[in-house]
C-alpha cells in the first residue's frame, strides 16, 4: 500500500465520513415541478430514491425506499452497466464510492447548484456529482468530476455524466435518427429487458445517424399533452452514448455521457476529469410541456444571445454554389436589399490561391481570398454590402484541411491521419488535430485574422463537414485513446477564446447539415443549420423533430429552390424557424418579390412570438398529411399559427383545428398573413374575433385537401 492510501485509510478509520453520512438527511434536488431525491444508505453509499413530479410534503420523503445506486461503480456487487470503471495503480479494477459531504449553492433565485462528494473507501479517488437546477424552467443539469491522488495515473474506462433510474411498468423511447439531408427522424419503441444503446463515433460532431437527444415516456407511448416524459440531451460535440438498460426488477437505468469507445483515459494525479453535462426535464403533461421547458431554459441560459433577435439573411450556397465572383456577389447584395433581409452570407468557395476552392476537392486550410474571384478581397465585399444597408457574413470551416492545400503541404503533423496508412476521406477532406495547442492557435487565428482585417464581418457560418477518419494524432503520441476527448476540449478552448474576444459576434453552427446540434456548442453559437435538405416538405419533418428540444430561433431555415413547392409554402415553412433565403430573386416575379418582402416584415414584427414564445405542436406530420404549429408570447396576447397541407388524400374529411396555449378568457382577432399580393384570405375565420375558449374547444378550419397549401394566421388579443 502506498503512503497516500495508508493516510486515506486512517482518515476512514477516524470515522469522519461515516459520521457525516449517518447524519445526512436526504438530498433533495428539486425544481418547481420536479424532485430528484437521493439518500445515503447505512453503508455510506449514495442511492436514488425518487425521480418524478415534485412531492408536496417534505415529511413524506422519509417513506421513500432507498432505491438504486446513483453513480454505479464496477467491480463489486452490481451486475448492470456501471457509470464509472477505473483501473488503479496496483492493477485493482474496482471502485466503491461512499458519500463524504454535499453542499447547496444558491446561484440566484432560480438556479441552485448541489455538489456531492463521494470517495472510494480504499483508494484516494474522489468523484464529485454536480446538479444544477433551474426552478422555473424545470431543467436539471448533471455532470461529474473525477480526481485522485494515487502516485501514477489511473485509467478511466467509463466516466458517465449521469445515471438516472426510473420505475414504471413500461418504457417507450423516442430517438431521432437520420443521415445527411435526412436528419432528426423520430421513431418510438418499447424497451424490454436488456439494453438499447444510442451512440455515435464521429469524433467532431455528435449528430449523423443518431442525435444526442431523446425522450422517454412512462407506461404509454408519448403524448403531446399528457403523461410522464423524461426528455434529455448531452452537451457534447463529439462521440456520445446513451445506454438504456431495463434490469431484472423492470427498473430503467439511463446512463449518459461521452462514448467510452476507444477512449480510455489516463488521468494524472490531482488533475480533474470533467464530464460534459447531461441536461434533462421531467414532465407529467407530455412532450409539449417538456419542449417548452427546454426552449425557455435554452433561450435564457444556454444558447448564445438566446433572448436576442436573429438576423434574417440571403445566403448564396444553393443560389450559386462555387460559381461566383465579385460582381455576382455585389448583385446579390442588391437582391438581399430588395428582400429586406438584414444580411448577406457568403458561403463556401471564396478562398485559396494555389489550390483555389472551386469545388469541394481542394483549398480547405488556405483562408486567403481567391484573387481571381475576389480581386479586392473581403474588405470590398463588406464595404459594398454595408453601402446597401446590409451586413456581411462569411462561411468558414477552420477545423478542416484538404489534402490538396498549402496547409496540408506545410503541416501534415497537424492533420489527424496515420503516418503509415493510406488516407480515407469524407467529402475529400481531413480533420485538423485540435488536441494540439498549436492547431488550436491556428484555428483561433483563422477567425481572429479575418475579423482583425475586416472588422465589418458581422457573422460567421462555421462548418465542419467531415467526421474524424484515420484516427491518429501525431501530437498525442502514446496517448491515442485521448484523442476523441482531447479534440473536443481543444475545440471548446478555441470557441472560448473567440467568445471572449468577440462576445457579440453571432455565429451559425453547421456540420454538413445538422451534424452539430448539441447544447454545449450552442453556448458559442446563436443558431444551427438543421439540414442541407431545404425541400419544404422535408423541412416540416426535420424542423418538427428538432423542435422537441430546440427553440425555433436556433434553427436556421432558408427558402431555396430545392423542393418545387409554391413559393408561399416554402417561405411559410422557413418562417417557422430562423428565416433566411438562398435563392435568386430574378427567378421570381414582381408579386413573389412583394410577397417575400411582406413575409420578412411579418417575421421581424412577430419574432418575439415565434422566436421567444411558447410552442404548441398541434397536428403532427407523422400522423397526417398536414402539420399545425402555434407559437404564443408568454402573456398570451399574440399568437401565430402555421398550418400546412402536404399531400392529403382526395376529399379527406377534416375537422376544425383546436388551438392550444391561448387564454380561454381573452378574445382574439384572427387574421391571415403572408398572403400573395392581390389574394384574399379564403379562411372563414379571417377577420373574426373569437374567445380563446372557443378557439381551443371548437377550433377553426385551417386545413384542406389541397396539395402544398399553407396558411399563417396571426391572433391578437383585444
Does 546 engage in binding with ligand GLA (CB under 6 A)? no
- At its nearest, how many Å lie between ligand GLA and the CB of residue 316? 10
Q: Does 463 count as an annotated binding residue?
A: yes
Residue nearest to ligand GLA (CB): 348
* DSSP class per residue in 498-557: HHHH-TT--EEE-BTTBS---TTGGGS-SEE---S---HHHHHHHHHHHTTTS-GGGBEE
State which of positions 479-518 bind ligand GLA (CB under 6 A). 510, 512-513
- In the shown chain, the binding pattern of residues 523 to 542 toward ligand GLA, with x for contact by CB under 6 A and - for none, equals ------x--x----------
Contact mark string toward ligand GLA, 355..374, x via CB under 6 A: -----x--------------
Pick the closest to residue 121 from 144, 143, 142, 92 (CA basis): 92
User: 259 with 309: CB under 8 angstroms?
Assistant: no
Q: State the Cα angle at 151 between 145 and 157, rounded to 5°.
A: 45
- Measured from the CB atom, is 427 or 658 closer to ligand GLA? 427
Residues in a beta bridge with 394:
346, 460
**Residue 633 marked ligand-binding:** no
Query: What is the closest distance, in whole angstroms, from the C-beta atom of residue 352 to ligand GLA in the complex?
Result: 13
Helices 326-339 & 590-605, crossing angle to 10 degrees?
70
The answer to whether residue 463 is catalytic is: yes
Strand order in the sheet with 84-87: 84-87, 154-159, 265-267
Rg, the chain, Cα only = 27
- Burial class of residue 571, CB neighbours in 10 A (0-12, 13-18, 19+): buried
State the nearest-atom distance from the C-beta of 526 to ligand GLA, in Å.
Answer: 16
Is the CB of 512 or the CB of 545 nearer to ligand GLA? 512
Told to check if 465 binds ligand GLA by CB under 6 A, we report yes
Distance CA 361, CA 357 (A): 8
Cβ nearer to ligand GLA, comparing 361 with 667? 361
Beta-carbon contacts of 422 under 8 Å, excluding residues fewer than 6 positions away, are none
Nearer to ligand GLA (CB atom), residue 359 or residue 437: 359
DSSP state letter for 695: H
Residues contacting residue 144 through CB under 8 Å, at least 6 positions apart: 71, 83, 84, 127, 128, 129, 130, 159, 160, 161, 162, 274, 275
Nearest approach in angstroms of CB 561 to ligand GLA is: 14
In whole angstroms, how far apart are CA 181 and each of 233, 427, 574, 597? 22, 14, 16, 28
> Is 461 flagged in the annotation as binding?
yes
> What part of residues 404-463 is at the interface with ligand GLA (CB under 6 A)?
463
Q: In angstroms, give the least distance from the CB of 397 to ligand GLA.
A: 7
33 is in an annotated binding site: no
On whether 510 is known to bind a ligand per the annotation, the reply is yes
Pick the closer one to ligand GLA by CB: 561 or 704.
561
Catalytic residue among 463, 486, 518, 582: 463
Short-list 14, 84, 11, CA closest to 46: 84
Give me the least distance between CB of 423 and ligand GLA, in Å please. Answer: 20
Angle, helices 16-23 vs 3-13, to 10°: value is 40
Q: How far is the CB of 490 from ligand GLA (least distance, A)?
A: 22
Binding map of ligand GLA across residues 313-352, x = CB under 6 A, - = no contact: ----x-----------------------------xx----
State the DSSP code for 638: E
- Residue 667 is labelled as binding a ligand: no
Residue 180 assigned as binding residue: yes
Q: Does 142 bind ligand GLA (CB under 6 A)?
A: no
* Separation of alpha carbons 216 and 172, rounded Å: 6
SS3 label, residue 318: helix
Task: Exactly one of 33, 366, 532, 582 is catalytic; name it.
Answer: 532
Among 47, 282, 350, 395, binds ligand GLA (CB under 6 A): 395
- Pick 316 or 473: Cβ nearer ligand GLA: 316
- Closest to ligand GLA by CB, 171 vs 351, is 351
Contact status, residue 88 vs residue 154, Cβ threshold 8 Å: yes
By rule CB under 6 A, what count of residues binds ligand GLA? 12
Sheet holding 68-69, edge to edge: 27-30, 34-40, 46-53, 68-69
Helix (H) / strand (E) element for 10: namely helix 3-13
Coil, helix or strand at residue 6: helix
What's the Cα-to-Cα distance from 459 to each of 49, 207, 549, 580, rounded to whole Å?
48, 23, 24, 14
Q: Alpha carbon of 316 to those of 320, 344, 366, 394: distances in Å?
A: 6, 8, 21, 11
The x, y and z cell numbers of residue 595, run together, are 410577397
> Which of 267/345 has CB closer to ligand GLA?
345
Which is closer to ligand GLA, CB of 520 or CB of 532? 532
Look up residue 364 and give its three cell numbers.
480547405
347 is in an annotated binding site: yes
- Closest distance to ligand GLA from the beta carbon of 481 (Å): 30
Dihedral of CA atoms 53, 55, 61, 64 in degrees, nearest 10, equals -40
Through-space distance between the first and last CA atoms of the chain, rounded to whole angstroms: 77
CA distance 188 to 112: 33
Among residue numbers 108 through 127, which ones bind ligand GLA (CB under 6 A)? none
- CB closer to ligand GLA out of 80 and 322: 322
Q: Identify the DSSP state of 478.
A: T
Task: Name the minimum Å distance from CB 440 to ligand GLA.
Answer: 23
Contacts of 63 (CB under 8 A, 6+ apart): none
Question: Whose Cβ is closer to ligand GLA: residue 402's or residue 481's?
Answer: 402
* Shortest Å, Cβ 582 to ligand GLA: 8
| Region 586-605 residues binding ligand GLA, contact defined as CB under 6 A | none
Q: CB of 460: closest distance to ligand GLA in angstroms?
A: 12
| Three cell numbers written together for 13 | 478509520
Annotated binding site: 180, 347-348, 427, 461-465, 510, 532
Annotated binding site for substrate: 180, 347-348, 427, 461-465, 510, 532
Residues at the site binding ligand GLA, with contacts judged by CB under 6 A: 317, 347-348, 360, 395, 463, 465, 510, 512-513, 529, 532
Catalytic residue annotation: 463, 532
Amino acid at each position: 500500500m502506498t503512503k497516500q492510501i495508508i493516510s486515506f485509510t486512517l482518515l476512514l478509520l477516524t470515522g469522519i465520513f461515516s459520521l457525516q453520512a449517518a447524519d445526512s438527511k436526504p438530498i433533495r434536488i428539486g425544481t418547481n415541478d420536479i424532485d430528484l431525491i437521493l439518500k445515503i444508505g447505512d453503508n455510506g453509499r449514495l442511492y436514488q430514491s425518487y425521480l418524478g413530479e415534485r412531492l408536496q410534503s417534505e415529511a413524506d420523503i422519509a417513506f421513500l425506499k432507498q432505491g438504486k445506486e446513483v453513480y454505479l461503480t464496477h467491480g463489486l456487487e452490481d451486475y448492470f452497466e456501471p457509470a464509472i470503471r477505473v483501473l488503479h495503480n496496483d492493477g485493482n479494477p474496482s471502485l466503491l464510492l461512499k458519500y463524504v459531504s454535499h453542499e447547496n449553492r444558491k446561484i440566484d433565485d432560480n438556479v441552485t447548484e448541489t455538489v456531492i462528494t463521494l470517495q472510494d473507501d480504499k483508494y484516494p479517488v474522489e468523484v464529485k456529482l454536480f446538479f444544477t437546477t433551474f426552478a422555473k424552467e424545470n431543467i436539471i443539469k448533471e455532470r461529474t468530476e473525477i480526481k485522485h491522488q494515487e502516485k501514477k495515473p489511473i485509467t478511466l474506462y467509463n466516466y458517465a455524466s449521469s445515471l438516472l433510474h426510473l420505475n414504471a411498468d413500461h418504457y417507450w423511447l423516442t430517438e431521432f435518427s437520420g443521415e445527411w439531408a435526412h436528419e432528426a427522424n423520430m421513431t418510438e419503441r418499447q424497451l424490454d429487458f436488456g439494453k438499447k444503446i444510442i451512440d455515435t463515433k464521429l469524433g467532431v460532431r455528435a449528430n449523423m445517424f443518431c442525435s444526442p437527444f431523446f425522450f422517454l415516456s412512462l407506461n404509454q407511448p408519448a403524448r403531446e399533452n399528457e403523461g410522464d416524459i423524461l426528455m434529455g440531451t448531452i452537451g457534447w460535440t463529439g462521440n456520445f452514448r446513451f445506454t438504456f438498460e431495463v434490469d431484472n426488477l423492470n427498473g430503467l437505468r439511463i446512463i449518459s455521457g461521452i462514448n467510452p469507445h476507444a477512449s480510455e483515459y489516463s488521468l494524472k494525479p490531482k488533475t480533474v476529469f470533467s464530464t460534459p453535462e447531461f441536461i434533462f426535464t421531467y414532465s407529467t403533461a407530455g412532450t409539449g410541456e417538456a419542449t417548452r421547458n427546454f426552449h425557455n431554459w435554452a433561450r435564457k441560459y444556454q444558447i448564445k444571445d438566446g433572448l436576442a433577435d436573429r438576423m434574417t439573411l440571403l445566403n448564396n450556397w444553393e443560389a450559386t454554389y462555387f460559381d461566383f465572383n465579385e460582381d455576382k456577389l455585389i448583385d446579390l447584395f442588391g437582391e438581399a436589399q430588395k428582400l429586406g433581409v438584414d444580411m448577406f452570407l457568403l458561403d463556401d468557395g471564396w478562398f485559396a490561391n494555389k489550390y483555389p476552392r472551386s469545388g469541394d476537392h481542394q483549398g480547405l486550410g488556405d483562408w486567403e481570398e481567391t484573387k481571381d474571384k475576389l480581386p479586392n478581397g473581403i474588405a470590398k465585399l463588406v464595404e459594398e454590402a454595408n453601402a446597401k444597408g446590409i451586413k456581411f457574413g462569411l462561411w468558414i470551416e477552420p477545423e478542416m484541411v484538404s489534402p490538396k492545400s498549402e496547409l496540408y503541404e506545410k503541416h501534415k503533423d497537424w492533420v489527424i491521419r496515420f503516418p503509415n496508412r493510406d488516407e480515407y476521406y469524407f467529402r475529400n477532406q481531413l480533420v485538423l488535430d485540435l488536441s494540439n495547442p498549436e492547431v488550436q492557435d491556428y484555428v483561433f487565428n483563422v477567425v481572429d485574422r479575418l475579423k482583425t482585417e475586416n472588422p465589418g464581418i458581422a457573422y460567421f457560418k462555421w462548418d465542419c463537414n467531415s467526421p474524424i477518419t484515420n484516427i491518429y494524432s501525431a501530437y498525442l503520441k502514446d496517448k491515442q485513446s485521448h484523442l476523441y476527448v482531447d479534440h473536443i476540449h481543444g475545440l471548446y478552448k478555441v470557441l472560448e477564446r473567440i467568445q471572449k474576444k468577440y462576445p457579440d459576434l453571432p455565429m451559425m453552427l453547421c456540420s454538413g447539415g445538422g451534424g452539430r446540434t448539441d447544447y454545449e456548442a450552442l453556448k458559442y453559437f446563436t443558431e444551427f443549420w438543421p439540414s442541407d435538405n431545404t425541400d419544404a416538405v422535408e423541412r416540416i419533418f426535420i424542423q418538427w423533430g428538432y423542435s422537441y428540444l430546440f427553440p425555433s430561433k436556433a434553427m436556421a431555415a432558408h427558402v431555396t429552390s430545392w423542393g418545387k413547392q409554391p413559393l408561399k409554402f416554402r417561405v411559410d415553412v422557413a418562417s417557422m424557424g430562423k428565416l433566411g433565403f438562398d435563392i435568386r430573386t430574378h427567378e421570381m416575379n414582381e408579386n413573389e418579390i412583394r410577397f417575400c418582402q411582406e413575409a420578412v416584415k411579418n417575421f421581424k414584427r412577430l419574432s418575439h412570438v415565434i422566436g421567444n414564445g411558447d410552442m404548441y405542436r398541434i397536428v403532427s406530420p407523422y400522423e397526417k398529411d398536414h402539420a399545425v404549429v402555434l407559437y404564443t408570447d408568454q402573456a398570451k396576447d399574440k399568437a401565430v399559427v402555421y398550418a400546412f397541407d402536404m399531400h392529403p388524400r382526395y376529399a379527406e374529411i377534416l375537422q376544425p383545428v383546436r388551438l392550444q396555449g391561448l387564454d380561454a378568457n381573452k378574445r382574439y382577432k384572427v387574421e391571415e398573413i403572408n398572403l400573395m399580393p392581390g389574394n384574399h384570405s379564403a379562411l372563414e375565420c379571417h377577420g373574426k374575433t373569437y374567445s380563446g375558449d372557443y378557439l381551443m374547444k371548437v377550433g377553426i378550419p385551417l386545413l384542406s385537401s389541397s396539395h402544398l397549401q399553407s396558411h399563417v394566421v396571426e391572433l391578437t388579443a383585444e
